[in-house]
Homo-oligomer: A and B are copies of this chain.
Amino acid sequence: MSEKDLFLNVLREWMEASMHRSFHIFIKHNRESGLSLSQINTLFRLYHHGPDSVHDLADHLGITNAAVSQLLDSLIEAGLLTRAEDPRDRRMKRIELTEDGKALVEKSMKRRQAWLFDLANAFSDSEKAQILPALKLLKQRTLELNKKHGPLCRVNENK
């Protein structure tokens, strides 16, 4: 039992320390970008989830379709994404990242993760070799968990 708790606690403490850092970098970068939080969220959602409809984006963001339609305008004008008719159901629009949009998301991710470079350098080669298997396992299980829980991202629970 204490073993179990220890593992969870160390995991939590490490997460908190990492989050503390990454959150602030994220907020800062967000401000500088001139984009709203919902707009950033939209770009990341499209990056991870692929092309999406206005309705599903609104569902994911927890705001109305109207709000999404409006925030998309400036993103399109900025050349970060495209809005095209869905040939299967012409009521819908297919919202999709452009190459510039993808590049912006990747740049943002890299910037947010830049401090990991310093962290990696804080380990000797032998330490790295020792830690690597554990890290791989952590990553794998996290990805499995994310997949299993599915679209956990939705903020609204409509039906």
Contacts and interface: CB of A to CB of B under 8 A. Distances in A.
Number of identical protomers: 2
A12 interface: yes
Contacts of A16: 109, 113
A127 interface: yes
A141 B7 CA distance: 17
Contacts of A48: 20
Contacts of A129: 3
A120 B4 contact: yes
Interface in A100-127: 109, 112-113, 115-120, 122-123, 125, 127
24 contacts: A7-B120, A8-B116, A8-B120, A11-B119, A12-B113, A14-B138, A14-B139, A14-B142, A15-B18, A15-B113, A15-B116, A17-B142, A17-B143, A19-B22, A20-B44, A21-B146, A21-B152, A119-B138, A119-B142, A122-B141, A122-B144, A122-B145, A131-B137, A131-B138
